[in-house]
Structure 1
């Protein structure tokens, strides 16, 4: 029995290595990817741009809970074609969820979202106290 274990043991790591190497070649096509995101800051607001072509604005859910902004989508497509005795049924499912921790300077009551040409845009205005103040001259007495 020990001979069997010894002769099998060296082959087992090689077998695992082959399986994982095959998985690495196949996995990228099946892995979920997240849309590219740009975050921009100006004096008065933050702007988030999320590239998500092929979706409709109804596909998105944008939520704020506590200080977290969550953008998610879930899309299911199914087609079925029957020709004679042959039936072809295809389906596709895609989903993603991104969460951003908002700074305290964001006025979460005034956030606006748009979806134009495959880009989800969110305008996150800053609270008045967080905006830069005009310089003030202080008189010396």
Structure 2
């Protein structure tokens, strides 16, 4: 039987590595959940900008209803072979989607889309009813 001297630092180092690995596994970029979006509304249209870095245009699917926009995209993984070491990547590969509700009704048949440098720009024209919508406000007179 061989006697081995107990070293508590070895146990602590092992525990520290396990905790670090656990937190690295849970640390995912926000891109995995939903791409960043920016909405700008004008009198005639709603302009939507989505950030989709690393996604090819052919891997983007856009669905538009009168009151919402749904974007489904997929970032394909790159196959890497590394024979001399280990590769660590924080990139997310896979499918994701974002549904953006709109406050005004739009003409979903006249949507214009442009995709350049990982930025998707959608121009969503408002319906004629929304453009000409005027709300009359009545003032109540205080009784004396």
Structure 1: gaps spanning 5 or more residues: 1-18, 134-141
In 2, Cα distance between the equivalents of 1:99 and 1:130?
21
In 2, Cα distance between the equivalents of 1:30 and 1:43?
35
What SS does the corresponding residue of 1:77 show, helix, strand or coil? coil
In 1, Cα distance between the equivalents of 2:128 and 2:66?
20
Find out whether 1:63 has 2:63 as its counterpart.
Answer: yes
Structure 2: gaps spanning 5 or more residues: 1-17, 134-144
Find out whether 1:27 has 2:40 as its counterpart.
Answer: no
Q: Does the aligned pair in 1 maintain the 2:55–2:74 contact within 8 Å?
A: no
C-alpha deviation, 1:47, in angstroms: 0.6
Normalised TM-score (structure 1): 0.61
Which structure: greater strand fraction?
Answer: 1
Which structure: greater helix fraction?
Answer: 1
Normalised TM-score (structure 2): 0.60
Deviations 1:2-52 (A, max 9, x none): xxxxxxxxxxxxxxxxx9997445411477242210011000000110011
**Count of aligned positions:** 112
